[in-house]
């Protein structure tokens, strides 16, 4: 699960909603869930029609734009953070991985 945000409260809301949905994309703002796209199959696939998924995704993108996000495709950008086959640093269930060196990076320095 990749979670990004401006405050821990909204991020926690998103995490709890994603767990409730058994996967998906969730946007929260100012203490409220403003939209979601359930993706219950492996957190990647929807049971909804393509029209329904498209409408929800467009709405979520509009919400992100309205909140000031400047990324053209924020959810795709987030997805690539966890894709460990593309070079550079990636976030995995094992931690931060240097894909080119095939090494787990220690994120705590003493």
Q: Which residues pair with 95 in a beta bridge?
A: 92
CA distance 99 to 14: 28
Task: Report the pLDDT value the prediction gives residue 2, as an integer from 0 to 100.
Answer: 87
Domain boundaries, the chain: 8-70
pLDDT tens-digit map of 6-53: 999 999 999 999 999 999 999 999 999 999 999 999 888 999 999 999
Task: Report the pLDDT value the prediction gives residue 60, as an integer from 0 to 100.
Answer: 97
CB count within 10 Å of CB 25 equals 22
Task: Report the first-to-last Cα separation within the chain, whole angstroms.
Answer: 27
Distances (CA, A) of 17 to 37, 40, 60, 79, 103: 10, 12, 15, 18, 32
Confidence grade of residue 88 (pLDDT, cut at 50, 70, 90): confident
- The pLDDT mean for the chain works out to 92
Confidence grade of residue 82 (pLDDT, cut at 50, 70, 90): confident
Task: Report the pLDDT value the prediction gives residue 19, as an integer from 0 to 100.
Answer: 96
**Chain-centre distance of CA 13, in angstroms?**
13
């Amino acid at each position: 699960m990749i979670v990004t945000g401006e405050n821990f409260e909204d991020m926690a809301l998103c995490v709890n909603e994603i767990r409730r949905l058994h996967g998906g994309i969730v946007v929260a703002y100012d203490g409220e869930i403003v939209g979601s796209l359930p993706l219950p199959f492996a957190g990647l696939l929807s049971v909804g029609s393509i029209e329904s998924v498209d409408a929800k995704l467009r709405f979520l993108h509009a919400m992100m734009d309205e909140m000031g996000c400047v990324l053209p495709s924020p959810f795709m950008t987030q997805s690539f953070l966890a894709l460990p086959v593309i070079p550079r640093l990636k976030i995995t269930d094992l931690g931060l991985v240097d894909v080119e060196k095939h090494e787990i990076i220690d994120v705590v320095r003493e």
